[in-house]
Chain A
């Protein structure tokens, strides 16, 4: 019997929507407001994302230091599909100006507005002339001509165009570029910890977490640290860094290296040390981090050594590189009895994943149809997708593992705890 995931995995174009990306690009920028030119319920998605992030931050025993930007909706209804929603949008903008006195208005356009044909960019220009406030509109309409990251990078690009200026840099300072759970999330916190250990000061995180009135200060930083990601996030952040480097002479690590997994974290520390003239400090940090990790591994291996583990992969290579997970599996000295490729890959994608896996491991690879028995014999399954069989003990492998040595240890500790636990029931755990 083939292995089933809890939810159907499809792989098509247009998997997400540009509007939450637009919102995310300014979600914690004090002074901004976001308007979704959409049916009301579309904004409920951004609300869900906001609440999830809030709980995630709470779970990390951290605190969101700023309030999210107000999110309004033009609340399109059926009648607007006939008569257009432009007037409605202008009314909503007028209200937002009166009520919130924003320093920046950002408008996201829905697929509905796109099909109706509302000219949101023209409405933004008109509003800017009327209220003398910067009004930026995304040209992407929901899922029609872009996804989450198109919305995110389009707005970030427009902010750079309008607010950034060339200025002298403050030595030893960096700005974090990207999202990865925001400045209160574990990823940015770990990156900040490593940078501080190299005597580098983090000025803030862009886009999304910078007050509107201080947008121009981003270019005060001497360097940029790309927070990373895969696929469109990675491409977009690299392009943004290239642009900031060219226009404002800010340094960045051009290689595609992020502090995820042991080898990458070490290479990343060396790279950052080199571009920011902190090579000695980087070497010291590496030595200290390695020592810390080795100590932890000694404890973990007492439980993990020789234990039977299976890795299930269903995520496309463009969103997920299995190298870091395989490295952790290797370091824990578990017995990786097999890798199962779930039914989520097209022919070429499967070929690419197989090629990548071959670079890092000689473990036998099975299809979903072949792998059932293997799962039943495994003590723990590391999986990119929740498997339907709830008797199986699973640990979710995220698209982007947590950063740095702390992230590495956090994931390995989860494996260690699950293998050490005397509770034998199934279900999935998340790190």
Chain B
């Protein structure tokens, strides 16, 4: 471990795996999440997700075990919380139950408890929390756990069909980025098969093996998933970053095009070219008023891939 790692932790922004795993399942329509951990941890994760989805508290719940539960187990708190959900009319498309870090250590058999409850909806359960790491680690493990639960078989790939891996609405501007990326890819002639953890339903995720290419965006979220899907389903992948800026978007699309030629690439190229002309004119206007738009130093604070791609765009454009 490098010495720098010990330094002031407040300089590094990262919520825990509990939030990341919850964010993955919050990206599945109709899914609900139950954090089996202290109220403090639940609220912390809830608050970090509320920035992106203001009503997430309708789907993200806490079992709130107290300190005795660490000695006697959390079964009572967990079953009470689930009964309360059912009695108040919740019927999720999928219930995700995640243990916080200290609860993970006491050895409660989550799957055993849930199977005894004979739940009227499907569920996925796993140990989670800060011991595992940050947001990205939780997100990745949530996806892996879901895939293993779905027990998907190998399938025939459909032409020009892609999965978008490592997109989340819970990153800064995440939802808007996802919508724009899907739009660009569709305009280029691709069919977007799934966007795991960012809009795809459980039924859609069952078809994840149909894609002929996986496109990785935020590598800290999607790269391991892509490697796993390549190993299990034989789907190749490409990590081309995130399309920021006009040149950046074109470069990104052309990188994908080299691996899987896009039938309507020219449509997107024309859109970018038109947009570029408009932006140049606008920038000229701004320069006329303010002078050269030059900043000697810019600090980019963002998750890995996002930071790199933003920095690249700032340098070039």
**Chain B contacts of A47 at CB under 8 A?**
9-10, 13
**Chain B contacts of A61 at CB under 8 A?**
none
Question: Is A13 touching B66 in the complex (CB atoms < 8 A)?
Answer: yes
Segment from A107-115, A346-354, A359-367 that makes contact with B: A107-115
Chain A residues 1-44 with CB under 8 Å of chain B are 6-8, 10, 12-17, 36, 38-44
Question: Is A112 touching B131 in the complex (CB atoms < 8 A)?
Answer: yes
The residue from A17, A78, A115 contacting B40, defined by CB atoms under 8 A apart = A17
A13 to B66, CA, bound (A): 6
Q: For A44, give the chain B residue with the smallest CB separation.
A: B15
A145 to B70, CA, bound (A): 10
**Chain A contacts of B225 at CB under 8 A?**
none
Segment from A92-100, A166-174, A199-207, A246-254 that makes contact with B: A92-100
- Is A72 among interface residues, defined by CB-CB distance under 8 A? yes
The residue from A43, A45, A112 contacting B101, defined by CB atoms under 8 A apart = A112
**Chain B contacts of A14 at CB under 8 A?**
38-39, 64-67
Known: A8-B61, A44-B15, A81-B131. A70 touches B8 (CB 8 A): yes
**Chain A contacts of B65 at CB under 8 A?**
14
- Is A421 among interface residues, defined by CB-CB distance under 8 A? no
**Chain B contacts of A112 at CB under 8 A?**
101-102, 105, 130-131
- Is B132 among interface residues, defined by CB-CB distance under 8 A? yes
Q: For B56, give the chain A residue with the smallest CB separation.
A: A7
**Chain A contacts of B130 at CB under 8 A?**
38-42, 76, 112
Measured between C-beta atoms, what is the minimum distance from A343 to chain B in Å? Answer: 11
The residue from A7, A13, A73, A144 contacting B9, defined by CB atoms under 8 A apart = A73
Known: A39-B131, A44-B14. A7 touches B38 (CB 8 A): no
Question: Is B131 touching A17 in the complex (CB atoms < 8 A)?
Answer: no
**Chain A contacts of B68 at CB under 8 A?**
13
Chain B residues 7-37 with CB under 8 Å of chain A are 7-10, 12-17
Question: Is B131 touching A8 in the complex (CB atoms < 8 A)?
Answer: no
Question: Is B70 touching A72 in the complex (CB atoms < 8 A)?
Answer: no
Q: For B104, give the chain A residue with the smallest CB separation.
A: A81
Known: A47-B13, A112-B105. A143 touches B5 (CB 8 A): no
**Chain B contacts of A95 at CB under 8 A?**
3, 6-7
Q: For B77, give the chain A residue with the smallest CB separation.
A: A12
Question: Is A10 touching B64 in the complex (CB atoms < 8 A)?
Answer: yes
A48 to B17, CA, bound (A): 17
Question: Is B38 touching A41 in the complex (CB atoms < 8 A)?
Answer: no
- Is B243 among interface residues, defined by CB-CB distance under 8 A? no
**Chain A contacts of B1 at CB under 8 A?**
75, 91
**Chain A contacts of B7 at CB under 8 A?**
72, 95, 99
Known: A7-B57, A72-B9. A111 touches B131 (CB 8 A): no
Question: Is B10 touching A39 in the complex (CB atoms < 8 A)?
Answer: no
A68 to B8, CA, bound (A): 11
Question: Is B6 touching A15 in the complex (CB atoms < 8 A)?
Answer: no
- Is B121 among interface residues, defined by CB-CB distance under 8 A? no
Counting residue pairs across A and B whose Cβ atoms lie within 8 Å, the total is 125
Question: Is A46 touching B10 in the complex (CB atoms < 8 A)?
Answer: yes
Question: Is B64 touching A12 in the complex (CB atoms < 8 A)?
Answer: yes
- Is A142 among interface residues, defined by CB-CB distance under 8 A? yes
Known: A10-B39, A39-B129. A50 touches B10 (CB 8 A): yes
A45 to B40, CA, bound (A): 9
What number of B residues sit within 8 Å (CB to CB) of A? 40
- Is B106 among interface residues, defined by CB-CB distance under 8 A? yes
- Is A116 among interface residues, defined by CB-CB distance under 8 A? yes
Known: A115-B70, A115-B105. A78 touches B131 (CB 8 A): yes
Measured between C-beta atoms, what is the minimum distance from B71 to chain A in Å? Answer: 9
**Chain A contacts of B14 at CB under 8 A?**
40-41, 44
Question: Is A17 touching B38 in the complex (CB atoms < 8 A)?
Answer: yes
Q: Which of A12, A16, A50, A96 has the most CB of B within 10 A?
A: A12
Question: Is A111 touching B102 in the complex (CB atoms < 8 A)?
Answer: yes
Known: A45-B44, A115-B105. A13 touches B67 (CB 8 A): yes
- Chain A, residues 133-175, CB within 8 Å of chain B (1/0): the string is 0000000001111000000000000000000000000000000
**Chain B contacts of A125 at CB under 8 A?**
none
Measured between C-beta atoms, what is the minimum distance from A3 to chain B in Å? Answer: 14
- Is B134 among interface residues, defined by CB-CB distance under 8 A? yes
A42 to B1, CA, bound (A): 19
- Is B199 among interface residues, defined by CB-CB distance under 8 A? no
- Is B94 among interface residues, defined by CB-CB distance under 8 A? no
The residue from B106, B133, B134 contacting A115, defined by CB atoms under 8 A apart = B106
**Chain B contacts of A45 at CB under 8 A?**
40, 44
Question: Is B38 touching A78 in the complex (CB atoms < 8 A)?
Answer: no
- Is B124 among interface residues, defined by CB-CB distance under 8 A? no
Question: Is A72 touching B6 in the complex (CB atoms < 8 A)?
Answer: yes
Q: For B20, give the chain A residue with the smallest CB separation.
A: A41
Question: Is A12 touching B39 in the complex (CB atoms < 8 A)?
Answer: yes
Question: Is A71 touching B9 in the complex (CB atoms < 8 A)?
Answer: yes
- Is A77 among interface residues, defined by CB-CB distance under 8 A? yes
**Chain A contacts of B47 at CB under 8 A?**
48
**Chain B contacts of A50 at CB under 8 A?**
10
Question: Is A72 touching B8 in the complex (CB atoms < 8 A)?
Answer: yes
A16 to B64, CA, bound (A): 10
**Chain B contacts of A8 at CB under 8 A?**
57, 61-62
Q: List 21 A-B contacts (CB under 8 A).
A: A12-B64, A14-B38, A14-B64, A14-B65, A16-B39, A17-B40, A17-B41, A39-B131, A41-B14, A41-B130, A44-B13, A44-B14, A44-B16, A44-B44, A48-B44, A71-B8, A71-B9, A72-B9, A75-B1, A111-B38, A115-B105
Beyond contacts A14-B67, A47-B10: 9 other A-B pairs, Cβ-Cβ < 8 A, are A13-B67, A41-B16, A43-B10, A68-B10, A71-B8, A71-B10, A75-B5, A91-B1, A111-B102
Which chain B residues have a beta carbon within 8 Å of chain A's beta carbons?
1, 3, 5-10, 12-17, 38-41, 44, 46-47, 57, 61-62, 64-68, 70, 101-102, 105-106, 129-134
Smallest CB-CB A-B distances: 10 pairs: A39-B130, A41-B16, A111-B102, A41-B130, A14-B66, A95-B6, A47-B10, A13-B66, A17-B40, A43-B9
Which chain A residues have a beta carbon within 8 Å of chain B's beta carbons?
6-8, 10, 12-17, 36, 38-48, 50, 68, 70-73, 75-78, 80-81, 91-92, 95-96, 99, 110-112, 114-116, 142-145
